[in-house]
Amino acid sequence: MSGGGGDGDDFAELFGEAKRIDRGPARVDKRTRPAVRSKRAKGGKGPRFRWPDPSDRSCAAAEGVSDRQLLALRRGEPAPEERIDLHGARRDAAGPLLARRIESARAQGLRCVIVIHGRGQHSPLGEAVLKDAVPDWLTKGATGRAVLAFAPAPERLGGQGATLVLLRAPD
């Protein structure tokens, strides 16, 4: 073998004859690609929510809700137009009650409701059973599709014992 002195046959001797590789189908232009509709839009699992602080599940927003809107909600803006009082209810009854009341408020065209769940100070084990369950109830199923954002109420509206919920406009 030579040391690369310009002999064009060295490559062919080492690797054999080269064959042309088929380039495959023509590339699809992204601008003409058909739009794919999300399954979430029609009866899927519902919108995705983001938690500004992943360790704090008491505050979340659906896609499209800005940090500014979420901050306003934490301040109590817009003012709640209806009160949903779960305080003292059993967990198994509170979830369906919340779902019915959220759907009713949305059907009436209300923009914001306040959910009173308590702080858990009077529960038998001292746990905030309803308070801890509310974020899951607000982000899943039909209720999740009705909610844009939620955050703990400011102290003047109940503080950690209440959650403000921003609702989507009715369909």
CA pair distance 137, 144, nearest whole angstrom: 7
Q: What is the pLDDT of residue 9?
A: 62
Question: Residues 136-165: pLDDT tens digits?
Answer: 999 999 999 999 999 999 999 999 899 999
Cis peptide preceding 135, ω within 30 of 0: no
Residue 135 carries which DSSP code? H
Q: What is the pLDDT of residue 88?
A: 77
**pTM given for the model:** 0.71
Asked if 151 and 78 count as a contact pair (C-beta separation under 8 A), the reply is no
Residue 36, number of CB atoms within 10 A of its CB = 6
**What does pLDDT average to over the chain?**
81
Question: Residues 41-68: pLDDT tens digits?
Answer: 444 566 799 999 988 899 999 999 999 9
CA 53 remoteness from chain centre: 13
Which structural domains are found in the chain, ordered by start?
58-167 (3.30.1370.110)
Q: What is the pLDDT of residue 26?
A: 58
